[in-house]
Amino acid sequence: MAPGTRTCAGCGAVLAARMLLKATGKDVIVCEATGCMEVTSTQYPTTAWKVPWIHVLFENSASVATGVKAALEAQGNNHTQVIAYGGDGGMVDIGFGAVSGALERDDDIMIITYDNEAYANTGIQRSGATPFGASATTTPAGLESQGKKQWKKNIPMIAVAHGSKYVATASIGYPQDLQKKIKKAMQVKGARYLHIHAPCPIGWAFDSSMTIQVAKLAVQTGMWMLYEIDDGAFKRTMTPELKPVDEYIKLQGRFKHLKPETIKIIQERINASWKEMDNLEKCGVNLRTIL
């Protein structure tokens, strides 16, 4: 990624793209769904991408990546990594059918979501990846509403349920962990899925100087958990002593309306998931086999 994109100051999504490309090197083709990273990086006639890059629709980046991979193979090119890339809107919701199809066919591509937890480039509407309780323009907090009513959609686990050989979560707050996972995914043949948590100062309403702090706190409080599922084996790649979730929530305007009883519900949910992840690791069950 070249410097000087048109993202907002403190944008976590552009850091995700930069970290991704540092790990992959230049032998890649990126097929990117409409979204923040597309509108801010490629205003005609300029581009910030120093690798081959295709803009595709919200709904079909994974299908286009599959086609690009097939074309490369027909030319005898088996080395170029093809990446289907998009935000949570493009991958978790609108483009999920194409993502699911590529995972189920085990097409030889990397599918990567940068998750800013909203439809950010169209005005911060809630997505399937928006967390419970967050205020968004389509789930505004007010007298009658406490923000989004549903929990975040768990796409990494849905990806492994398709039989994907390598699935991982990552965060821009931990670049080394992120890049290690990208490099590992590059060694695997078939459809691989990575989900990168990328804080958005505009949508989440925090100061643009705090992006990395917010990203780290998401992991340190358990609001975002770092793990990988390598050939079905689940393993957390970071197991911090969890801080109270309030430390993460209080930094962000999208949660400022939350009452203590709602924060307690979120904390209880984190505690329960953390405990289940402990169990999952200890029992050593193979998720590719059972799901």
Tell me the C-alpha distance between 58 and 93, whole Å. 9
Contact call for residues 167 and 225 (beta carbons, < 8 A)? no
Least spacing, CB of residue 39 vs ligand SF4, in Å: 8
Least spacing, CB of residue 78 vs Mg ion, in Å: 33
Q: Does 121 bind ligand SF4 (CB under 6 A)?
A: yes
Output phi, psi for 85, to 5 deg: -130, 135
What is the pattern of x (binds ligand SF4, CB under 6 A) and - over residues 185-214? ---------------xxxx-----------
Q: Does 10 bind Mg ion (CB under 5 A)?
A: no
Least spacing, CB of residue 14 vs Mg ion, in Å: 13
Question: Which of ligand SF4, Mg ion, none has residue 113 at its interface (CB below 5 to 8 Å by kind)?
Answer: none
Counting Cα atoms < 13 Å in the Cβ hemisphere of 142 gives 6
Contact call for residues 132 and 273 (beta carbons, < 8 A)? no
Least spacing, CB of residue 127 vs ligand SF4, in Å: 12
Interface with Mg ion in residues 106-125 (CB under 5 A): 116, 120
Least spacing, CB of residue 29 vs Mg ion, in Å: 22
Q: Does 120 bind ligand SF4 (CB under 6 A)?
A: yes
Tell me the C-alpha distance between 275 and 180, whole Å. 25
Based on CB atoms, which residue is closest to ligand SF4, 91 or 102? 91
Q: How far is CA 238 from CA 37, 57, 169, 210, 217, in A?
A: 27, 35, 11, 21, 13
Tell me the C-alpha distance between 234 and 227, whole Å. 7
Cβ count near 284 (within 10 Å)? 9
Q: Does 88 bind Mg ion (CB under 5 A)?
A: yes
Query: Which residues of the chain form contacts with Mg ion (CB under 5 A)?
Result: 87-89, 116, 120
Query: Which residues of the chain form contacts with ligand SF4 (CB under 6 A)?
Result: 7-8, 11, 13, 36, 40, 116, 120-121, 200-203
